[in-house]
Structure 1
Amino acid sequence: MAENYVIVIPQFNDWEALNLLIEKINADLDPAILQQSTILIVDDCSTKARVNPFVSFGGKAIKVLKLYRNLGHQRAIAIGLSYIAENVEADKVIVMDADGEDAPGDINRLAAKSLQEPDKIIFAKRNKRTESFLFRFFYVIYKSVFKLLTGKVITFGNFSLVPIQRLQNLVRVSEIWNNYPGGIIKSKIPYDSVLTNRAKRLAGESKMNFVSLVLHGLSSISVMIDTTAVRILIFSIFMSGIAITFIVVILFLKLIGNATPGWASTLGSTLTILMLQSFLISLFLVFMVLQYRSQQHFIPAVHYRDFVEKVDTFS
């Protein structure tokens, strides 16, 4: 029996690229998958009106879910998935961006991998990127910092396939509200990946700059804040141990008379203050995280309707 697919595409003022993307989906998607696919566009409260009508998508209607306010790609994805989980019958959901950098032909690879791993979310793992050297440099730094602070490796973005049996789990993961891939890592929902090359933007200019990259990095780390806080505390304790060692060495040098007058007390007191500050700040962060975990969280499946203005259908 053929499986039904829903392609979720969040977009903000990317109408031109979106139309070109639909054309590429028509051309590059396996005919067997295309025949069973529908498109849901999550309009993240665009400020530019759509000028041209949507291109034909295999004779099927295209749904546009319009939001009351701009929330960003990650939250638009969470709302789109929550809407599908409640209102649309599907076997698998494809999440991809509207700019065309997620190559539609790679949906075929995600679908093939999903047949091998039917119970897992399948991500498109980037093998080659097309951004500027500076952007790729900072992206490498972001991945390194993410691994350092969380102990996890992140090598993928939003482009993914979600089997329906995992969708109901996913839309109840509060962390996807801040970061979709990070939330899946945190949730321990099983996932796998396939290697893909990032395509070039189809039209317009990328909205991802240095500031947005930093915000994206911080949001992905924030979903693992409990692990991050504990790792920072452990690092603080380790550094405190080094500081205590230096203080002991300084006191020893002072006792045997090899320390310059005033030098030992100044350095020793400075190290003591830094040690206490870092430890107390880390401890305070851990207690804040524990307090946060005791509070009721935002659940996309429950609260997404508050942001949906309307759902339009275009044939």
Structure 2
Amino acid sequence: MALDNTLTAYPDRINIVIPLFNDWQALGLLLERIRDVNGASLTDRLTFLIVDDCSSINFDTLPTGIGQSLSVLRLFRNVGHQKAIALGLSYLASLPDQYPTIVMDADGEDRPEDIPLLLQTGAANPSRVVFAHRAKRHESFIFRLFYEVYKSVFRLLTGKVITFGNFSLVPAKQLRKLAYVSEIWNNYPGGVIRSRLPYTAVPLERGRRLAGESKMNFVSLVLHGLSAVSVLMDTTAVRLTLFCVMMVAASVFGIGVVVSLRLFTDTAVPGWATYLVFSFLIVILQAFLISLLLVFMVLSYRTQPQFIPARQFGDFVEKVEKVY
């Protein structure tokens, strides 16, 4: 599907939300690249909303005349990448009119030349959130290894497959619904999965950082993974509880085997069998306590009032600064 034909399915305005913390140089290069690799028929429709996550530095200059407008949403405090996305989407959802909205990072790893592919997939799936599935990455081997571990653990704990990040297209009619999903406050992709809004993914290559150094390290990757799992806390708790039940069953079976050998056979039971029985009993006790803790965690999670980004985003917004 040609881009011009694709754009006929869209209004004359397409929002782009870009969360940012101190990456002003990369943002400037990204804006220029968006202009250079996409035709005027697309760039003339774009409006940029930069969510400044309380950066410690400010921009000197930014390219102007790219798209219809560029505004900076200033936050009172640093809230992190995922929450910044939730605040940006909630601000746009609060406006009188909603438009298709693209979420992308400021560093250039979400490639501007892939925006038309997101739009084409969105035009073919008008009610679905479209994510970029990372078909190829350029990070170090260690990072990619831990990322694969994260995806495997996420699938094991939640039963869901997550192969995408923040780079996505939100249809206009789903924007306000998404802003009322409390889970996007912790993790945007996980929140979409939890919301049960329809979504799909298109395989795209991950780009390279345009400037500066990535702030993602092992610790931040672990925290990102935990935030994604926490979005599906109830499912995770059920699966962990079932695992504990399996451990109890295996321990009871082990104790039964040792006792049967001792009472009903003439087989000599080694001296360490007593320690083995006590070990099984400790496993049973630990599994019971973990299950009890998980039950209380889920009950507490369900009874606590949830943060609704659409209602409370204004508490974090200092001002909206229009650059052009």
Deviation at residue 12 of structure 1 after TM alignment: 0.2
Unaligned runs of 5+ residues in structure 1 are none
Helix, strand or coil: the match of 1:167? helix
Distance 1:13 1:306, change over 3 A: same
Of 92, 97, 106 in structure 1, the residue corresponding to residue 105 of structure 2 is 97
Contact 1:150 1:224 in 2 (8 A): yes
Helix, strand or coil: the match of 1:231? helix
- d(CA) in 2 for partners of 1:302, 1:182: 20
Further displaced range: 288-297 or 150-159:
288-297
Deviation at residue 153 of structure 1 after TM alignment: 0.3
- d(CA) in 2 for partners of 1:296, 1:29: 44
- d(CA) in 2 for partners of 1:197, 1:57: 28
Deviation at residue 117 of structure 1 after TM alignment: 0.3
Alpha-carbon displacement from aligned partner over 1:224-247 (angstroms, at most 9, x marks no partner): 110000000001111111111111
Deviation at residue 257 of structure 1 after TM alignment: 4.3
Of 262, 271, 282 in structure 2, the residue corresponding to residue 254 of structure 1 is 262
Residues 10-49 of structure 1 mapped to structure 2, 5 A cutoff: 10-49=19-58
Match of 1:276 in 2: 285
Alpha-carbon displacement from aligned partner over 1:234-281 (angstroms, at most 9, x marks no partner): 011111111111111111121224344642222112201211211221
Distance 1:271 1:57, change over 3 A: farther
Say yes or no: does 1:205 pair with 2:207.
Answer: no
Deviation at residue 283 of structure 1 after TM alignment: 2.7
- d(CA) in 2 for partners of 1:12, 1:246: 54
Helix, strand or coil: the match of 1:105? helix
Deviation at residue 36 of structure 1 after TM alignment: 1.1
Match of 1:298 in 2: 307
- d(CA) in 1 for partners of 2:94, 2:173: 13
Alpha-carbon displacement from aligned partner over 1:67-105 (angstroms, at most 9, x marks no partner): 001011100000000000112634200000000000011
Unaligned runs of 5+ residues in structure 2 are 1-7
Of 294, 319, 322 in structure 2, the residue corresponding to residue 310 of structure 1 is 319
Contact 1:226 1:290 in 2 (8 A): no
Helix, strand or coil: the match of 2:97? coil
Helix, strand or coil: the match of 2:241? helix
Contact 1:254 1:264 in 2 (8 A): no
Match of 2:180 in 1: 172
Helix, strand or coil: the match of 1:281? helix
Helix, strand or coil: the match of 2:55? coil
- d(CA) in 2 for partners of 1:54, 1:5: 20
- d(CA) in 2 for partners of 1:8, 1:158: 10
Of 189, 192, 196 in structure 2, the residue corresponding to residue 181 of structure 1 is 189
Deviation at residue 29 of structure 1 after TM alignment: 2.6
TM-score of the aligned structures, taking structure 1 as reference length: 0.96
Match of 2:142 in 1: 134
Residues 17-166 of structure 1 mapped to structure 2, 5 A cutoff: 17-51=26-60, 53-58=61-66, 60-87=68-95, 89-166=97-174
Deviation at residue 30 of structure 1 after TM alignment: 4.0
- d(CA) in 2 for partners of 1:7, 1:285: 39
Percent of residue pairs identical? 54
Match of 2:240 in 1: 232
Deviation at residue 34 of structure 1 after TM alignment: 1.3
Alpha-carbon displacement from aligned partner over 1:177-220 (angstroms, at most 9, x marks no partner): 00000010011110001110000000000000000000000000
In structure 2, what residue type is equivalent to 1:310? K
Of 251, 254, 264 in structure 2, the residue corresponding to residue 243 of structure 1 is 251
Contact 1:30 1:108 in 2 (8 A): no
Match of 1:192 in 2: 200
- d(CA) in 2 for partners of 1:87, 1:184: 21
In structure 2, what residue type is equivalent to 1:276? L
Contact 2:22 2:55 in 1 (8 A): yes
